[in-house]
Amino acid sequence: MSARRIAAEVAAGNRRATEVVEASLAEISTHDGELHAFTEVHAEAAREAARGIDAAVAEGRDVGPLAGVPIGVKDNICQRGRVTSCASKILDGWRPPYDATVVRSLEAAGAIIIGTTNMDEFAMGSSTENSAYGPTKNPVDHSKVPGGSSGGSAAAVGAGMVPLSLGSDTGGSIRQPAAFCGVVGVKPTYGLVSRYGLVAFASSLDQVGPFAQSVEDAALLLEVIAGHDPLDSTSLDVPAPMLVDRLDDGVGGLRVGLCRDLIEGASPEITAAVTASAELLAAAGAEIVEMSIPELHYGLSAYYLIAPAEASSNLARYDGVRYGLRVDAANVAEMNAASRTAGFGDEVKRRIMLGTYALSAGYYDAYYAQAQRTRTLIINAFADAYRSVDLILGATTPTTAFGLGAKVSDPMEMYLSDVFTIPTNLAGHPAISVPAGSDAAGLPIGVQLLGPALSEERLLRAAAVIEKGRS
């Protein structure tokens, strides 16, 4: 059942929030032992919150647009008093003394946080295999990865354990797992959703966004979490967009660019799905324009200098002194080194070293500064493209979900999983992955729609057309 319908039935008193929560907990009990989408399930707290919702309904009070809807929250989004470890040993057992703004927004809207979802450590990965808790499995095929870094959030929705979840997207970490798990995933405009309480990986790239089983539910959740937050210096001073009521407005008159650079290298089945999606948009009244943005080919290289550089700075705070893991040693320097060696996994160490090198004296201009110039080149290329089209269509991923363990020993091959999603993060623009069929093995395919800053309403309308055409 959709999140919107659950909320409507709970608010009307036709269904009890306690029943909804028990049904979700039963699904988690049935499926999560195998999938491992959750790192913690907050069963008693969820039941208590559900009782509060039911009492408010009985008293005739407004219970919010997500009344009684169970939701999973990624392990890098702070929940007061609950373990928020970023799936890392270095933060094992850390309980934040505050809630992230998005968590407060969920609770104010009546949503019930039923658990914390697994992820790649500090959001560094594309498969959710880099977790101190162990890997998450794909809900469609348990021998495959769910994508990453928000693989737990995607798998939880894909398996029907919750109708909604939150993830974070630094280089594709919402859209790529959404494609792999056959759900909708939205990366909002940078600054549209507060980052207060999101544990930073790369501060100029990170953004919180929704996973859902439908475009309508994704729109509903984005409405709830979007909007200006004075606690976040990067938050845009704009109101939350009205999205749900505009979903049926269609795409008549829109120009959609079919971007060759966001298909090149994709499997034939994914390429066919993108073409079929373009045909659905055309049939609904959009004009399809074939186009190329060659600058996007530089995105992967620029990202893997900028993101690790920011990570090396952000993760310097985990030093064994202030909070988190501490390994005792003879002096402070040795304690710091021992704590970080024991606390961080291989991929996090790899990116910290890469980022530190790129920022070091003698290499800053050659690597980090050049990557930032490339980022500007990509931003300008997108700006030029959006002068002639309203939206851009392409593949979300080059392949469908790959096997567990297949790319763990080859970081470069793993990084290529995000080749189509990274450019949007560098530009700070919104994008959405929407299910568009399956390959011959039955694995989900996702197609990606991109738009200029604050074009979420337009993107979701186009995604709704594709979703409806595929149903």
Q: Take residue 338 and report the two structure tokens written for it.
A: 């021992």
Distance of alpha carbon 292 from alpha carbon 257, whole angstroms: 9
- Number of residues assigned to the chain: 471
Phi, psi of 112 (to 5 degrees): -120, 115
C-alpha angle 445/448/449, rounded to 5°? 150
Residue type, 443: L
From the centroid of its chain, how far is CA 374?
A: 24
Q: Are strands 208-212 and 184-187 parallel, antiparallel or unpaired?
A: antiparallel
Distance of alpha carbon 219 from alpha carbon 215, whole angstroms: 6
Residues belonging to the active site: 74, 149, 173
Q: Which residues contact 425 (CB under 8 A, 6 or more apart)?
A: 169, 170, 171, 172, 187, 190, 205, 207, 303
Q: Which residues contact 12 (CB under 8 A, 6 or more apart)?
A: none
Q: Which of 234, 218, 127, 126 is nearest to 172 (CA)?
A: 126
Distance of alpha carbon 345 from alpha carbon 376, whole angstroms: 32
Q: How many CB atoms lie within 10 A of CB 250?
A: 17
Answer for the pair 460, 219: CB distance below 8 angstroms, yes or no.
yes
Find residue 449's DSSP bridge partners: 393, 432
Answer for the pair 124, 355: CB distance below 8 angstroms, yes or no.
no
